[in-house]
Amino acid sequence: MSRTTLDLWVGVFVAMGIAALLFLALKVGSISGSDVQSPYSLSARFDNIGGLKVRAPVKSAGVLVGRVTEIRYDNEHFQAEVVFSVDGRYKFPTDTFANILTSGLLGEQYLGLDPGGEEKTLAPGDVIKKTQSAVVLEKLISQFMFNKAAEGDQAPAK
């Protein structure tokens, strides 16, 4: 085979390979590192984070606005401290409420931000004070059972 046709085939092969890599990066992977632009970090303390993981999405009104970057245990407050980065385009008021929510019945857990009404916005590095922990199924069930039992005790007394 002559050298030019060989070069041509190799060129086609390499171009195809690079196109495949681009396809995997853009169409399949959607380069999720870049969907958070010029991020700033905020943190929040929770009594219980449930199954929240690093890299879990941070959503406000259902829209992805950032990602959880770090989860550590705060031994002073005996709470979990969740650090997350938020897209620089979005600003949240200082009385924003942070919840740990679940998407779907068996879905992944994510951090939900409910903005309040304050004029001032959170600066990078700020700590969100108003938080609500993850719902732990066992606690919910036991609460329900205790309530039922309490109702059962009261009924015959009447």
Q: For residues 33 and 117, which CB has a smaller minimum distance to other proteins in the complex?
A: 33
Nearest approach in angstroms of CB 21 to other proteins is: 5
We find the least distance from the C-beta atom of residue 26 to other proteins, in angstroms, to be 9
Nearest Cα to 139, choosing from 70, 50, 64, 74?
50
Smallest distance, other proteins to C-beta of residue 18, A:
7
CB of 55 to other proteins, least distance (A): 7
Joined tokens for residue 26:
């853009």
With a CB cutoff of 8 Å and minimum separation 6, the contacts of 72 are: 80, 81, 83
Which burial class, exposed, middle or buried, applies to 72 when counting CB atoms under 10 A from its CB (0-12, 13-18, 19+)? exposed
**CB of 20 or CB of 136, closer to other proteins:** 20
Q: What is the DSSP letter of 152?
A: H
- Closest to other proteins by CB, 9 or 144: 9
Complex with other proteins: residue 3 or 158, whichever CB lies closer: 3
Tell me whether residue 12 or residue 141 sits nearer to other proteins (CB atom).
12
Alpha carbon separation from 3 to 13, 97, 118 (Å, rounded): 15, 67, 71
Shortest distance in whole angstroms from residue 134 CB to other proteins: 17
For residues 123 and 152, what is the distance between their CA atoms, to the nearest angstrom?
51
Binding site for other proteins (CB under 8 A): 3, 6-7, 9-10, 12-14, 16-18, 20-21, 23-25, 27-33, 53-55
